[in-house]
């Protein structure tokens, strides 16, 4: 396996396009962002969009303009999946190869694109027109298989629709025209809804039912920051991203930190395969989200906020920018909000560039600072020293939306819903083998079986609760409850019927974590590769009974020694399936015979030497007719 990075540093790199990019053009891009090194991600995204890659020469210009070294720029450019040091096609087609998309036929769709464009997955056409590649979960599992074509999202692809899309693109139509002939005339909201269905199957009382405009913010403006925090604390609201930290406490910590500035950041980087609830809120309730952020800002005394949107949701950028602009116009953002003297707050939209790890609080902050998306050392915690060293509240989209509703309807109203320790409602994004994939807003406390009945997934054989980093359960656990104390979840519920191969699912999830590990710490960077390889061994039928212990042992080391939540949960697909589907593993393991390991293939071991020596092995050659 070549685990080296293929670009730069001694290895020749293709230059973007044909002509070198003039320095003035790059300098102009940097100037757009004030030559601010903290805006590196925006700068590089802009360069990538213009020139389809970030070539070595352009990195030199970017470094010069922002006062960094070239290697620092390269560190960022080489970290994010959507940035590339080698030229990409003018149209880049990224097919989502999440497990749900695989089970929905993405490989047939891929074949059609390969055939029509004359490219293999991973290739860019010689004329620079097209790139074709796979990408991990893009948040469209309820309408798989899906793809990103530049900034456009195509959903529910079939070989037929893929063929007509590929032919239209080849004929020179723009990706936008694939969505609508009059794309330009549509509003940002109409554009989003043309591309992506929101599939709201059950609207609950808090988020997806009728929501009055800015009632929570109006309330927040009339009470003190301390009273806002108390209300959030009394409601029992816990973070909806997965970790479940008490929101009120987080705000209180940040508010009590004395500093020149405070920040509020919204984590709209849901990247857990199978989750798409924030996508729905961002489309359907963008005002409620900004309202929640504004309330948080008043609570902790922040004047600046950042909405960090995952790169996969770039199709929502215009919509969100429009909402921010509208709220500025209406005096709901900016100076003296709602006429309250000193209540100043504004938000900048920060787009990610394809990195799951940026959903981790510290990595998200690093990314906002223009750095590679690497988690930060804790302590200090973000509430003490976060974005640029200032106290920072990071909450996810759903949490902010809840907070706005709590201010409007009161803490007791919210607290009465759900169960002890898990109050209020939760958005579940359900996908996979069920009749009605989509969004369900339910109070905490439903059992998995009840949820399966609602979604038409009664014949499920396995359910992945909380995405790959969560728990995979079998039929004998469907009585368990969806709460923080039993089956905790950020919202992703993936249903698998009896036809699905559990080990295939586990292998995909491990490959996902290998792809998405930031690489900072040893156990996550290296250990996950070993876990993935070990699962491959099981799938090939080459595993021994001792390999079960190996899986558990290695998983234990990765969990205990990893630096952040990714490595602390990445072995979960292995561990939870070992626990809940033991027969799947024992069915494929074989004891070694005669002390010879099945995994050791002498033929392939000596093959290299055999070729060099140009001689056959009379002992080990099986086939003398070759």
Partner 1 sequence: MSGTKRETGFTFTIDGVEITAYAGQTIMEAADEAGVYIPRLCDHEGLRHQGSCRVCTVKAGGRSVAACTQPAAPGQAVENETPRLTKMRRDLVEMLFHEGNHLCPICEASGNCELQAMAYRLDMTEATRFPYLEPCRALDASHPDIALDTNRCISCGRCIRASQDVDGKGIFGYVGRGIHRRVAVNGENLADTDAEVTDHAISAEVCPVGCIIRKRVGFTVPIGEREFDHGLIGHDIEEKRK
Residues that bind partner 1 (CB under 8 A): 1-5, 8-11, 56, 69-72, 74-75, 78-80, 355, 372, 377, 379, 514-523, 525-527, 529-530, 533, 550, 554, 556-557, 560-563
Q: The tokens of 20 are what?
A: 């070198």
| Nearest distance, CB of residue 518 and partner 1, angstroms | 6
Contacts of 193 (CB under 8 A, 6+ apart): 283
Q: The tokens of 152 are what?
A: 């456009």
Q: The tokens of 287 are what?
A: 């005002």
Residue pair 305/229 in contact (Cβ under 8 Å)? The answer is no
The rounded distance, in Å, linking the Cα atoms of 598 and 538 is: 11
Q: The tokens of 3 are what?
A: 């685990």
Residue pair 26/58 in contact (Cβ under 8 Å)? The answer is yes
Closer residue to partner 1 (CB): 178 or 524:
524
Contacts of 330 (CB under 8 A, 6+ apart): none
| Nearest distance, CB of residue 92 and partner 1, angstroms | 19
| DSSP E strand boundaries for 480-607 | 492-497
Closer residue to partner 1 (CB): 4 or 122:
4
Closer residue to partner 1 (CB): 167 or 599:
599
Closer residue to partner 1 (CB): 44 or 320:
44
| Nearest distance, CB of residue 9 and partner 1, angstroms | 4
Closer residue to partner 1 (CB): 134 or 345:
134
Closer residue to partner 1 (CB): 173 or 525:
525
| Nearest distance, CB of residue 72 and partner 1, angstroms | 6
Contacts of 20 (CB under 8 A, 6+ apart): 55, 57
| Nearest distance, CB of residue 384 and partner 1, angstroms | 12
| Nearest distance, CB of residue 511 and partner 1, angstroms | 11
Closer residue to partner 1 (CB): 436 or 544:
544
Closer residue to partner 1 (CB): 181 or 600:
600
| Nearest distance, CB of residue 411 and partner 1, angstroms | 32
- List, in sequence order, every residue forming a beta bridge with 418; answer none if it has no partner: 423
Residue pair 273/512 in contact (Cβ under 8 Å)? The answer is yes
DSSP H helices, 429-470, are 448-455
Contacts of 432 (CB under 8 A, 6+ apart): 100, 103, 141, 274, 457, 464, 494, 495, 496
Closer residue to partner 1 (CB): 343 or 520:
520
| Nearest distance, CB of residue 77 and partner 1, angstroms | 8
| Nearest distance, CB of residue 235 and partner 1, angstroms | 29
Angle, CA 448 vertex, CA 447 and CA 449 arms, to 5°: 90
Q: Are strands 422-423 and 418-419 parallel, antiparallel or unpaired?
A: antiparallel
Whether the bond between 184 and the residue before it is cis, its omega within 30 degrees of 0, is no
| DSSP E strand boundaries for 188-294 | 200-202, 263-268
């Amino acid at each position: 396996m070549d685990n080296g990075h293929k670009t730069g540093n001694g290895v020749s790199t293709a230059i973007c396009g044909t002509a070198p990019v003039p320095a003035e053009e790059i300098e102009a891009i940097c100037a757009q962002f004030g030559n601010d090194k903290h805006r590196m991600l925006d700068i590089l995204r802009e360069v990538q969009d213009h020139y389809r890659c970030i070539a070595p020469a352009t990195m030199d210009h970017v470094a010069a303009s922002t006062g960094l070294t070239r290697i620092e720029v390269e560190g960022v450019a080489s970290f994010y999946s959507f940035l590339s040091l080698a030229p990409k096609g003018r149209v880049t087609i990224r097919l989502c190869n999440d497990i749900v998309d695989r089970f929905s036929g993405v490989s047939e769709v891929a074949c059609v694109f390969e055939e029509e464009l004359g490219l293999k997955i991973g290739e860019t056409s010689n004329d620079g027109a097209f790139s074709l590649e796979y990408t991990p979960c893009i948040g469209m599992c309820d309408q798989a298989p899906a793809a990103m074509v530049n900034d456009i999202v195509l959903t529910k692809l079939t070989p037929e629709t893929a063929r007509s899309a590929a032919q239209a693109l080849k004929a020179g139509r723009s990706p936008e025209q694939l969505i609508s002939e009059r794309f330009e005339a549509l509003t940002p909201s109409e554009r989003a809804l043309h591309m992506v269905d929101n599939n709201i199957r059950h609207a609950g009382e808090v988020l997806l039912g009728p929501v009055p405009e800015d009632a929570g913010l109006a309330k927040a403006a009339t009470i003190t920051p301390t009273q806002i925090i108390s209300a959030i604390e009394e409601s029992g609201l816990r973070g909806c991203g997965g970790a479940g930290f008490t929101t009120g406490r987080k705000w209180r910590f940040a508010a009590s930190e004395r500093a020149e500035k405070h920040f509020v950041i919204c984590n709209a980087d849901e990247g857990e395969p199978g989750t798409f609830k924030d996508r729905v809120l961002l489309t359907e309730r963008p005002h409620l989200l900004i309202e929640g952020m504004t309330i948080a800002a008043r609570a902790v005394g922040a004047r600046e906020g950042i909405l960090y949107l995952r790169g996969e949701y770039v199709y929502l950028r215009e919509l969100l920018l429009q909402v921010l602009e509208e709220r500025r116009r209406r005096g709901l953002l900016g100076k003296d909000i709602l006429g309250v003297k000193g209540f100043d707050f504004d938000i900048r939209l920060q787009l990610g560039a394809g990195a799951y790890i940026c959903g981790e609080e510290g990595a998200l902050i690093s990314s906002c600072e223009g750095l590679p998306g690497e988690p930060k050392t804790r302590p200090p915690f973000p509430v003490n020293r976060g974005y640029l060293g200032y106290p920072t509240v990071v909450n996810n989209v759903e949490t902010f939306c809840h907070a706005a509703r709590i201010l409007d309807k009161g803490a007791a109203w919210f607290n009465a819903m759900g169960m002890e320790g898990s109050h209020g409602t939760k958005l579940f994004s359900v996908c996979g083998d069920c009749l009605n994939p989509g969004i369900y807003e339910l109070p905490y406390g439903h059992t998995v079986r009840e949820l399966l009945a609602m979604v038409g997934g009664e014949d499920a054989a396995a359910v992945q609760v909380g995405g790959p980093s969560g728990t995979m359960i079998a039929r004998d656990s469907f009585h368990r409850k969806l709460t923080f104390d039993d089956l905790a979840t950020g919202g992703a519920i993936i249903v698998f019927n009896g036809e699905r191969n559990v080990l295939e699912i586990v292998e995909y999830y491990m490959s996902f974590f290998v792809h998405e590990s930031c690489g900072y710490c040893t156990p996550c960077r290296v250990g996950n590769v070993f876990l993935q390889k070990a699962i491959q061994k099981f799938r090939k039928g080459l595993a021994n009974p001792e390999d079960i212990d190996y899986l558990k042992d290695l998983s234990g080391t990765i969990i205990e020694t990893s630096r952040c939540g990714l490595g602390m949960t990445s072995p979960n697909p292995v561990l939870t399936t070992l626990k809940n589907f033991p027969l799947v593993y024992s069915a494929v393991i074989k004891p070694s015979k005669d002390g010879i390991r099945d995994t050791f293939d002498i033929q392939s071991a000596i093959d290299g030497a055999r070729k060099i020596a140009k001689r056959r092995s009379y002992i080990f050659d099986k086939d003398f007719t070759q």
